[in-house]
Amino acid sequence: MPGPAAASSAVPPPPRKHLGQHFLVDPNIARKMVTAAALRPRDVVFEIGPGRGALTRLLCERAAKVIAVEIDRQLVRYLSAVLAGDAALELHHGDAMTFACDELPKGTVVIANVPYAVSTPLLFRLLRARDRISRMVLMLQREVAARILAAPGSRDYGVLSVMSRYYAEPRKAFAVPASCFRPVPDVDSAVVTFVGRSDPRGDADFDRVFAQLVRGAFAHRRKTLMNSWREEGWDPASMRRILEHAGIDPRRRAETLGVPEFLTLAQAVSVDRAHPGPPPRRADAAER
């Protein structure tokens, strides 16, 4: 383990363009993110992409343990040097998209400056780990944050809006201008908090049904629910029964439905499958 001399002489590696690296340089933003996390001394934090450690140092001061995963091996070496004396840090070289989230302690708090290129699939991966993660504070591209927080009927409302609210309660914490990073990105960011729902929606099978319905409904935004599902290969007779059971007009479009109505639809699928009649053909559809 490097000593104090090695830590003080460590030189941060330059940003790597192919990894889309933009390092947070505004200490006030880092402090605001930590405050938004409402950390307690006993908390375990999972930090994704610690970069040069702008957030990591603060997290190690507030939490019992910080599990940090960094994909850039050069940054792992740098952080190992500058944070060598911090017993709270558990640093991993790896990819957050393949990290074993199911091995995180229950109640883990996630804090991350999410890479733009993987923001949506990484968010879905974290949301699905709801039995391990209690809350999250994520810095996201402003446009992604807008889609998460969009209300039914708005232009930005879609799959990400519905699924985020299905798994958690998202709230915008604050905006982050591009000038807070080096190199300066082309877009602004926003910090969004996610608190795990106290009323879990269902088991893994219900989760899959819900996701399939939502994705099928939004697959063709300009079409009605029935036509969109039909275009995706779903069985029209099954969907007609399901819509009737849910009390939802088949002429409506996906962007007019809130989470409660999609929940009613998913429950209607379960009822339909328990009685004679073929289920939707796309029941094995995966999240894309």
Between 283 and 256, the more confident residue is: 256
pLDDT band at 117 (very low <50, low <70, confident <90, very high): confident
- 134 contacts: CB under 8 Å, gap ≥ 6: 106, 107, 108, 109, 195, 196
Task: Name the 3-class secondary structure at 7.
Answer: helix
pLDDT at 273: 73
CATH number of the domain at 4-196, out of 3.90.550.10, 3.40.50.300, 3.40.50.150, 3.40.50.850? Answer: 3.40.50.150
Q: Would you kindly state where each structural domain of the chain is located, as residue ranges? A: 4-196, 204-273
Q: Does 123 have pLDDT greater than 70?
A: yes
pLDDT at 277: 55
pTM above 0.85, yes or no: yes
pLDDT at 275: 66
Read off the DSSP letter of residue 68: E
φ and ψ at residue 193, rounded to 5 degrees: -100, 145
Over residues 57-67, the pLDDT tens digits come to 999 999 999 99
Burial class (CB in 10 A: 0-12, 13-18, 19+), 125: middle
Q: What whole-number percentage of the chain has pLDDT above 70?
A: 90
Output the average pLDDT for the chain: 89
Over residues 220-259, the pLDDT tens digits come to 989 999 999 999 998 899 999 999 989 999 999 999 999 9
Lowest mean pLDDT among 140-154, 169-183, 189-203, 245-259: 189-203
pLDDT at 156: 96
pLDDT at 58: 95
DSSP β-ladder status, 108-113 and 44-48: parallel
Q: Does 155 have pLDDT greater than 70?
A: yes
Decide: 149 and 192 in contact? Cβ < 8 Å. Answer: yes
CATH number of 204-273: 1.10.8.100
Dihedral angle over CA of 103, 139, 257, 274, nearest 10: -10
pLDDT at 282: 46
